[in-house]
Structure 1
Amino acid sequence: MSVPPESVVPPPPSEPYGGDIPAEERTWAMMAHLSALLGALVTVTFGHGWACFIGPLVIWLVKKDTMPFVNDQAKEALNFNITVAIATLVLLILSIVTFGIGLIIAIPMWVIIWIAWLVLTVVAGMKANEGVRYRYPFALRLIK
């Protein structure tokens, strides 16, 4: 049995930021998370790997006033990557202060941090692309 066209009610218009998030905004939010991978890759080729927060920082500074979802997700990515950079730096300082003995703790921790960072960054990028406001399980909320 078919429904007459006049009885079909169109869906209500979607709210721009409470409901459906535009594709462009979802893409920028995804890039805010995944740009950390690019930042780390570029700086690792020069002997460092600490610049994972530069990509999210740039995207947040450029898009924070025009795209609320990107503002939220770029801040989240920025906070997480700053947290990872601080943890890495603390382990490096521990290694230096203990004249290398701290490497017994630092090296396994770096491996764990790196794997967690990689997995969580990819998951966050996928969730942001789906329009989900992703929250990392551990991050210092330095940028509010």
Structure 2
Amino acid sequence: MNAYLIVKWIHVLSSTLLFGTGLGIAFFLWMAHRRGDAKSIADTARTVVIADACFTAPAVVVQLASGLWLAQAAGWPYSLLWLRMALVLFFVVGVCWLPVLWLQVRARNLARDAAQAGTPLSPAYHRAMRWWFWLGWPAFLSVLAIFWLMIAKPA
């Protein structure tokens, strides 16, 4: 197998990891949030923060590095509309994801504090989760669009 196919395999594998982990994280944290139990939310958010550090963050780096390498190796100029759009959407995902990381840590800490104090979840917690929820949508839809661009490569 040549270098191009190995890097392409790594690129596809890391995109699968990135998408699957992101979707799983969102699902489990949202379900914990909906239950409203501060301890459950704190425990779930703790795991979510760890998963983002172990899986999502490295996959983001691999995606960018392998994608740029593949484009160069294939001889695709960055002037191709689909490639430019994929890079713009990758940037959109990052702009949404970075605050989401902070919001997950904040939600975890606020839920942990509420659970330890035996108090209801604070308005600050609910505000953090609202922002987390709404920032997730443009990131999720952008990832779907990137998948489409990578497969269709429209002119």
Greater C-alpha radius of gyration:
1
Which protein has the bigger helix share? 2
Q: How high is the TM-score relative to the length of structure 1?
A: 0.47
